[in-house]
Amino acid sequence: DAGVRITISRWFTPQHNSVAPDGVQPDIAVSRTDATPPDEDPFLDAAIEFLADQPVADEVGALRVPSSVAAPLKLPATVGIVAARSIC
């Protein structure tokens, strides 16, 4: 007996979109330049701004949707924070 087995690995998002060839693209593009002051974190600021408009749970099982949200939210497939700083 002889045979050849070829295994191909592919990565997909939860919406079944292929990650190849460009990789995962962020839903919110944020960058830091040389002109960004060292005490500012545009990545954290963008994350806080995004999360501020999301529904929150008042208690386990009770979801409170902000009045500014008219329709159900579809959260992005990928959310990443590249850098962080203390906010307390």
Q: Is the pTM of this model over 0.75?
A: no
Q: How many CB atoms lie within 10 A of CB 1?
A: 2
Look up residue 58 and give its two tokens.
Answer: 């008042």
Q: Which is higher by pLDDT, 7 or 41?
A: 41
Is residue 65 predicted with pLDDT exceeding 70?
A: no
User: By C-alpha distance, which of 66, 67, 48, 71 is closest to 56?
Assistant: 66
Q: Which is higher by pLDDT, 10 or 69?
A: 10
Is residue 57 predicted with pLDDT exceeding 80?
A: no
Q: How many CB atoms lie within 10 A of CB 15?
A: 7
Domain boundaries defined on the chain: 24-88
Percent of the chain surpassing pLDDT 70:
62
Is residue 11 predicted with pLDDT exceeding 60?
A: yes
